[in-house]
Amino acid sequence: MATINDVAKMAGVSKGTVSSVFSKKRPISTEVTERVLAVAKELSYFPNHIARSLAIKKTMIVGLKIPISREHAMSGFEVQLINGVIRECSKRGYRVLLDTLPEHDDPIHFAVDPVDGVIMLNPRTQDPRIDRYKLMQTPLVLIGRPDPMDETVCYIDNDNVKIGNQVGQYLLENGHTSILFLNASSDMTVAADRKRGLYVAFESSGKVMHYSRKQHGNPTHYGYVSLKNSYSNHDYTAIIADTDRVALGALQATRELGIVIPEQLSIVALSDDPVLAQETSPKLTSVELSAELLGSEAAKLLLKKIKNIGIVQQKVIDAKLILRESCKMYV
């Protein structure tokens, strides 16, 4: 690969000049410009992004830290979210470095990446990475709230307490008396928040709430097995599934069990791929988390923070319960 030096020599100019004809940061006479361009073409010279980044300390790349399980495909939620950040970034000329590598807790392996800022999905409790980004002064925005809460960090989140509460309310108002909550795994703040919201709704109702947490593994399988194993011993009137894929598994179990939805059992999913939810039969009642919006708002905020490192801001994205066909109204 030819370097800026090669073309400078062959064109008989300084590398500063070559640099300028490519960057247009200072005016160069047309004759020199043409000569340089001709030589560049002849030598197949292309500017080196890395060297440039090192010099100007900016890459026009945004890092997206998103833990994707090795075994399963991305969920609809993740896909939409990625979509949101890509779209927003691409609008402003940024590209996205997808980082799904398992995190080293060892700070020695923490390097400052070739990015101008990072978006981090689902920070863990006490996530050490948050402090590290602070130390390296890398602009950071979380999707999902930091735990413990820290108002000096930027984040975008749903109000998951509210979501849990709302779904609980809805079910109660429609006469449900016994529900099964198939929650996310317990290390996620969303799981805790939704559970809390739901509890508040049920607290004084006297109704029964069964509870289960996802351990690991295939979400569809989780939904399937949970229902299959426990339905006969309980009289659920409704089940709340952590995601649409969990709901899909549950749906399958109901078919095999001969349970008819929503007459004998209602299902609501908490995270929803709008196109999938409309194609299931019955169509899935679900709460729309607006994953795409979470993503694009996170990107917007990050890009703002990259321009102006000082700002700290949080934003909660509204979620709404979309009534479709999988829930029975008892009243």
Partner DNA sequence: CTGAAAGCGCTTACAG
Q: Which residue ranges make up the site for a second copy (CB under 8 A)?
A: 1, 22, 37, 41, 44, 46-54, 59, 61, 68, 70, 73-74, 79-80, 82-83, 86-87, 90-91, 93, 95-101, 107-108, 110-114, 132, 135-137, 248, 275-276, 279-281, 292
Q: Please give the Cα distance from 209 to 235 (Å, whole number).
A: 11
Two structure tokens written together for 200: 């508040």
Binding mask 87-126 toward DNA (x if CB under 7 A, else -) reads: -------------------------x--------------
Q: Which does 26 bind (CB under 5 to 8 A by kind): DNA, a second copy, none?
A: DNA
Position 95: which residue type? R
- Which residue, 1, 326, 2, is CA-closest to 167? 326
Shortest gap between Cβ of 165 and a second copy (angstroms)? 29
Q: Which does 29 bind (CB under 5 to 8 A by kind): a second copy, DNA, none?
A: DNA
Residues 47-66 that bind DNA (CB under 7 A): 47-48, 51-52, 54-57
- Single residue of 9, 10, 27, 307 touching DNA by CB under 7 A: 27
Q: Please give the Cα distance from 234 to 209 (Å, whole number).
A: 11
Residue 296 near residue 88, CB atoms below 8 Å: yes
Nearer to a second copy, 136 or 329 (CB): 136
Contacts (Cβ under 8 Å, ≥6 apart) of 118: 62, 63, 64, 65, 133, 138, 139, 140, 141, 302
Q: Which helix (H) or strand (E) holds 288?
A: strand 285-288
Q: Assign 103 to helix, strand or coil.
A: coil
Q: Which does 74 bind (CB under 5 to 8 A by kind): DNA, a second copy, none?
A: a second copy
Whether omega before 262 lies within 30 degrees of 0, making that bond cis, reads yes
The yes or no reply on residue 86 touching DNA (CB under 7 A) is no
Nearer to DNA, 60 or 208 (CB): 60
